[in-house]
């Protein structure tokens, strides 16, 4: 039986909320810590595994502060671990009993429980994948990411795959810390399906022999970090990549093909803000949008009358054998006031059950509710085993049960709800009796934990092929939809925060990239293998996968090219480039006045047009030289014309097209072409045949063969 792959979602950290814990002063820690602080054990639920944590065990936390250095020193002097991420965010590992003491400090604002995320993989296919795709037709550029650090935070590296060659400058020393090492690990213990191998090659894999499946930035410096995806670990690992790059005076871009779905969906968490604060001039982050297209994991409702409850029906789906619920409601109002009264109810055999707190806790089911410290929005989260809860309530057959959220409140108050369809499959379903409820939808499904980071480029997916042929000669459908169309699995905006998400879409459906032979389920998915190469007497593979996990590194690699051309690019610069240069077509859907669409963002990323604008921005910001290229021009080739893009300022340029008999059929002299300037050579006036295309500047010359049909 093949393993069902995880997509994105946070692990459940369950603790009994204690109403007696409340004081007159606002609590300065997450409710998940209440039971531990009170001396009770908690249950951590991860998939089918249940772990009990005792009160004396240290816990990880993310702490929002006003003086990071001072608070970190205080924690360290108390004998515990602390690391500064930004001036306002630190990570700690401390006993729960120390939390109240820590929060007595005036420079400690809030102590957050951590969340764990998962690889963003295509729900329909159990795997994801990608190939090296030149998104600008016929793009030939000397920019290959030279001098740029590409950091991959992921799981499932085949470290000795020749796609990575000798370009890995650092590895993660552990899955939970930000420590880097130059020593290559022997194996990745988190290599489940080779997700990271696939992703890293898309972004920046080397070409191996004549193999065509190499990365967008094949000369970038790689940092490969196998991560637990615990958010406090990701914070430390992202900071480590930034610190390494800046110490070596290099621009950097981080790829994150993981995420979750429970949270405020507005970028307001301390984790989101801490990650966003790491970005800046020459420092970028890219993330997979999510793979929940077509799922009914979200619902938005408006209270139409204070006297009439609104109902949401939570329905477990096939694969959720233990009927585990993990769902959360968030009010639209951000004024710090509880406008809604929310109840979790069970209906069976004509009887309504409203479980008490004690009944919930005894069945490993918990409710966390209140006002979020950052967003100031009301939330209500339910998580736990419903099989045990139903049994404790005296219901003999869980199949007779329907599960509802009953919401009442002020007229006009709106709220959103999300569930987690990947680890614990479920949806918001329609219902006529006993309570009327409408189906959910797939909107507002921007993933938490990566795509939700404010200054992070969130990427959706479109398809580059609809079928593939494997090494045995068998042909299979990719399952992502038709070629050129938006992938059927790609998630959807909009986003509740102030940032545009998705920003852009890139190839993610029907993609071929490096395939780890060391992964746990490598043999189960051997029929996805498309090609192999031999290196040092060993065989290595390339195979097909689908997912926004694959679209994200395509953008990461392209941004590395742009950073090579303009190493001072910021998130704001990149968003301007994407808005102005991304391509819209019949598949990307209608756009609003800004050129944006909730599925495709600003459209399909265009590497060439974006490179041109990045070079133009370099001129405007006074950058004297690109980082790596000594070539004078880049080319964009099509059947009708060739575009010549100048990579640096030149004193002159001569552009010629010469027939094979030596006749000059096109000749243009350009005085002082500027970086980012473009010269278009029309080929439609030429007779069919073979020509030589010459570009000469003081810095050098380039020649290419042109075939006119």
Q: How far apart are CA 144 and CA 119, in angstroms?
A: 27
Kindly tell me if the per-residue pLDDT of 7 is higher than 80. no
- Could you tell me the CATH number of the domain that includes residue 660? 2.60.40.3080
- Could you tell me the CATH number of the domain that includes residue 324? 2.60.40
Q: How far apart are CA 503 and CA 501, in angstroms?
A: 5
- In a shared domain, residues 417 and 553: no
169-175 average pLDDT score: 97
Whether the model pTM is above 0.85: yes
Q: What pLDDT was estimated at residue 136? A: 31
Q: How far apart are CA 360 and CA 381, in angstroms?
A: 13
Q: What pLDDT was estimated at residue 203? A: 95
Q: Answer for the pair 606, 523: CB distance below 8 angstroms, yes or no.
A: no
14-23, 79-88, 99-108: lowest mean pLDDT where?
A: 14-23
- In a shared domain, residues 336 and 239: no
- 129, part of any domain: no
Q: What pLDDT was estimated at residue 627? A: 61
How confident is the model over 421-450, as pLDDT tens digits? 877 899 999 999 999 999 999 999 999 999
Rg (CA), the chain: 27
* The domain boundary residue, chosen from 573, 590, 615: 615
Residues 6+ apart with CB under 8 A from 473: none
- In a shared domain, residues 282 and 303: no
- Could you tell me the CATH number of the domain that includes residue 596? 3.40.50.200
Burial (Cβ within 10 Å: 0-12, 13-18, ≥19) of residue 19: exposed
Q: What pLDDT was estimated at residue 141? A: 77
- 455, part of any domain: yes
What is the overall mean pLDDT for the chain? 89
Domain count, the chain: 4
* The domain boundary residue, chosen from 114, 147, 170: 114
Between strands 149-154 and 221-226, the pairing is parallel
* The domain boundary residue, chosen from 399, 429, 459: 429
Length of the chain: 709
- 2, part of any domain: no
- In a shared domain, residues 583 and 670: no
Kindly tell me if the per-residue pLDDT of 220 is higher than 70. yes
- In a shared domain, residues 605 and 472: yes
Query: Which among 548, 553, 434, 534 is positioned nearest to 491, based on CA atoms?
Result: 548
pLDDT band at 621 (very low <50, low <70, confident <90, very high): confident
Q: How far apart are CA 505 and CA 551, in angstroms?
A: 7
Q: What pLDDT was estimated at residue 35? A: 84
Q: How far apart are CA 197 and CA 155, in angstroms?
A: 8
Kindly tell me if the per-residue pLDDT of 471 is higher than 90. yes
What tokens appear for 494 in the block? 């909009």
Q: What pLDDT was estimated at residue 57? A: 84
- 568, part of any domain: yes
How confident is the model over 283-302, as pLDDT tens digits? 999 999 999 999 999 999 99
Q: What pLDDT was estimated at residue 133? A: 31
- In a shared domain, residues 655 and 544: no
Q: Answer for the pair 168, 158: CB distance below 8 angstroms, yes or no.
A: no
How confident is the model over 575-603, as pLDDT tens digits? 999 999 999 999 999 999 999 999 999 99
Q: What pLDDT was estimated at residue 116? A: 86
How confident is the model over 530-589, as pLDDT tens digits? 999 999 899 999 999 999 999 999 999 999 999 999 999 999 999 999 999 999 999 999
- Could you tell me the CATH number of the domain that includes residue 18? 3.30.70
For residue 437, what is the DSSP state?
Answer: B
- In a shared domain, residues 461 and 608: yes
Q: How far apart are CA 507 and CA 150, in angstroms?
A: 19
How confident is the model over 43-68, as pLDDT tens digits? 765 544 566 777 888 999 999 999 99
Give the residue carrying structure tokens 């000397």.
142
Kindly tell me if the per-residue pLDDT of 13 is higher than 50. no
- 579, part of any domain: yes
Q: How far apart are CA 671 and CA 650, in angstroms?
A: 8
- In a shared domain, residues 277 and 404: no
Q: What pLDDT was estimated at residue 321? A: 85
End-to-end Cα spacing for the chain: 53
Kindly tell me if the per-residue pLDDT of 400 is higher than 60. yes
Q: Answer for the pair 176, 250: CB distance below 8 angstroms, yes or no.
A: no
For residue 523, what is the DSSP state?
Answer: T
- In a shared domain, residues 279 and 316: no
Q: How far apart are CA 533 and CA 205, in angstroms?
A: 14
- In a shared domain, residues 35 and 109: yes
pLDDT band at 709 (very low <50, low <70, confident <90, very high): confident
Higher pLDDT, 631 or 382: 382
Q: How far apart are CA 140 and CA 634, in angstroms?
A: 6
Q: What pLDDT was estimated at residue 628? A: 60
- In a shared domain, residues 568 and 653: no
- 7, part of any domain: no
- 126, part of any domain: no
pLDDT band at 639 (very low <50, low <70, confident <90, very high): confident
Backbone angles phi, psi at 644, to 5 degrees: -110, 120
For residue 382, what is the DSSP state?
Answer: E
For helices 195-204 and 548-565, give the axis angle rounded to 10 degrees: 30
Q: Answer for the pair 617, 566: CB distance below 8 angstroms, yes or no.
A: yes
Kindly tell me if the per-residue pLDDT of 325 is higher than 60. yes
Give the H or E element holding residue 201: helix 195-204
Cα 450 to Cα 481, 506, 511, 709, distances in angstroms: 25, 17, 22, 47
pLDDT band at 452 (very low <50, low <70, confident <90, very high): very high
Q: What pLDDT was estimated at residue 632? A: 87
pLDDT band at 126 (very low <50, low <70, confident <90, very high): very low
Q: Answer for the pair 468, 530: CB distance below 8 angstroms, yes or no.
A: yes
Give the residue carrying structure tokens 């509740």.
496
How confident is the model over 221-242, as pLDDT tens digits? 999 999 999 999 999 999 999 9
How confident is the model over 266-288, as pLDDT tens digits? 999 999 999 999 999 999 999 99
What tokens appear for 169 in the block? 């400058």
Between strands 641-646 and 678-682, the pairing is antiparallel
How confident is the model over 364-397, as pLDDT tens digits? 888 999 999 999 999 999 998 899 999 999 999 9
Sign of CA dihedral 514, 519, 521, 524: positive
Q: What pLDDT was estimated at residue 72? A: 97
Higher pLDDT, 6 or 355: 355
Q: Which domain holds residue 348?
A: 298-429
Higher pLDDT, 623 or 366: 366
610-636 average pLDDT score: 80
- 124, part of any domain: no
- In a shared domain, residues 582 and 668: no
pLDDT band at 8 (very low <50, low <70, confident <90, very high): very low
Q: What is the DSSP string of 454-476?
A: TTSEEEEEEES-SEEE-TTS-EE
Q: What pLDDT was estimated at residue 624? A: 62
Between strands 378-385 and 401-409, the pairing is unpaired
Sign of CA dihedral 227, 232, 234, 238: negative
């Amino acid at each position: 039986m093949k393993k069902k792959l995880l997509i994105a979602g946070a692990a459940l950290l369950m603790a009994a909320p204690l109403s007696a814990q409340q004081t007159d002063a606002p609590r300065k820690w997450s409710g998940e810590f209440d039971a531990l602080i009170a001396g009770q054990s908690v249950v951590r639920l991860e998939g089918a595994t249940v772990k009990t944590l005792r009160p004396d065990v240290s816990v990880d936390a993310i702490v929002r502060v006003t003086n990071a250095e001072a608070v970190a020193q205080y924690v360290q002097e108390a004998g515990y671990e602390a690391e500064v991420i930004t001036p306002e965010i630190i990570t700690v590992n401390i006993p729960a009993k120390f939390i109240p003491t820590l929060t007595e400090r005036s420079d400690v604002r809030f102590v957050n429980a951590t969340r764990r995320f998962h690889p963003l993989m295509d729900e329909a296919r159990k795997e994801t994948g990608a190939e090296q795709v030149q998104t600008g037709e016929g793009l030939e550029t000397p920019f290959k990411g030279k001098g740029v650090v590409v950091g991959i935070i992921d799981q499932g590296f085949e470290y000795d795959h020749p796609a990575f060659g000798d370009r890995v400058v650092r590895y993660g020393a552990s899955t939970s810390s930000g420590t880097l090492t130059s020593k290559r690990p022997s194996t990745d213990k988190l290599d489940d399906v080779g997700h990271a191998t696939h992703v890293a090659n898309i972004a920046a894999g080397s070409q191996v022999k004549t193999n065509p499946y190499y990365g967008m930035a094949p000369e970038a410096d790689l940092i490969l970090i196998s991560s637990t995806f615990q958010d406090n670990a990701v914070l430390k690992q992202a900071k480590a990549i930034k610190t390494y790059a800046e110490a070596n005076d290099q621009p950097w871009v981080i790829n994150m093909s993981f995420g979750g779905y429970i949270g405020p969906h507005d970028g307001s968490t301390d984790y989101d803000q801490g990650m966003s604060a790491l970005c800046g001039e020459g420092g970028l982050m890219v993330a997979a949008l999510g793979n929940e297209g077509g799922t009914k994991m979200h619902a938005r409702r408006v209270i139409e009358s204070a006297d009439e409850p609104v109902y949401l029906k939570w329905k477990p789906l096939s694969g959720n054998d233990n009927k585990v619920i993990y769902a959360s409601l968030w009010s639209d109002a951000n004024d710090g006031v509880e406008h809604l009264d929310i109840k979790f109810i069970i209906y069976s055999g004509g009887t309504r059950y409203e479980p008490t707190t004690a009944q919930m806790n005894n069945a490993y089911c918990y409710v966390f509710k209140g006002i979020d410290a950052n967003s100031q929005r009301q939330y209500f989260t339910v998580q736990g085993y419903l099989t045990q809860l139903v049994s404790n309530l005296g219901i003999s057959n869980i199949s007779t049960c329907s599960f509802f959220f009953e919401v009442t409140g002020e007229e006009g108050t709106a709220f959103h709800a999300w569930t987690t369809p990947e680890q614990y499959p479920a949806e918001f379903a329609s219902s006529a009796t006993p309570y009327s409820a409408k189906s959910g939808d797939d909107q507002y499904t921007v993933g938490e934990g990566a795509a939700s980071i404010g200054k992070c480029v969130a990427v959706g997916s479109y398809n580059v092929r609809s079928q593939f042929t494997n090494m045995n000669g068998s042909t299979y459908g990719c399952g992502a939809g038709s070629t050129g169309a938006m992938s059927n699995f790609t998630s959807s905006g909009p986003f509740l925060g102030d940032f545009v998400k998705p920003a852009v879409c890139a190839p993610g459906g029907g993609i071929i990239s490096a395939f780890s032979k060391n992964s746990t389920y490598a043999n189960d998915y051997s029929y996805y293998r498309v090609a192999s190469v031999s290196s040092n007497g060993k065989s290595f593979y390339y195979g097909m996968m689908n997912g926004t996990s694959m679209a994200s590194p395509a953008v990461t690699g392209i941004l590395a090219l742009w950073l090579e051309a303009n190493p001072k690019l910021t998130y704001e610069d990149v968003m301007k480039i994407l808005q102005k240069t991304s391509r819209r077509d019949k598949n990307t859907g209608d756009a609003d006045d800004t050129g944006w669409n909730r599925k495709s963002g600003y459209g399909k990323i265009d590497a060439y047009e974006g490179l041109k604008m990045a070079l133009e921005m370099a001129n405007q910001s006074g950058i004297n030289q690109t980082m790596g290229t000594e070539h004078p021009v880049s080319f964009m080739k099509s059947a009708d014309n060739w575009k010549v893009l100048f990579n640096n300022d030149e004193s002159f340029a001569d552009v010629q097209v010469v027939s094979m008999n030596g006749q000059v059929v096109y000749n243009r002299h350009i005085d002082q072409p500027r970086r980012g300037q473009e010269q278009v050579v029309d080929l439609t006036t030429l007779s069919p045949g073979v020509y030589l295309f010459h570009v000469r500047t003081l810095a050098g010359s380039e020649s290419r063969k042109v075939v006119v049909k």
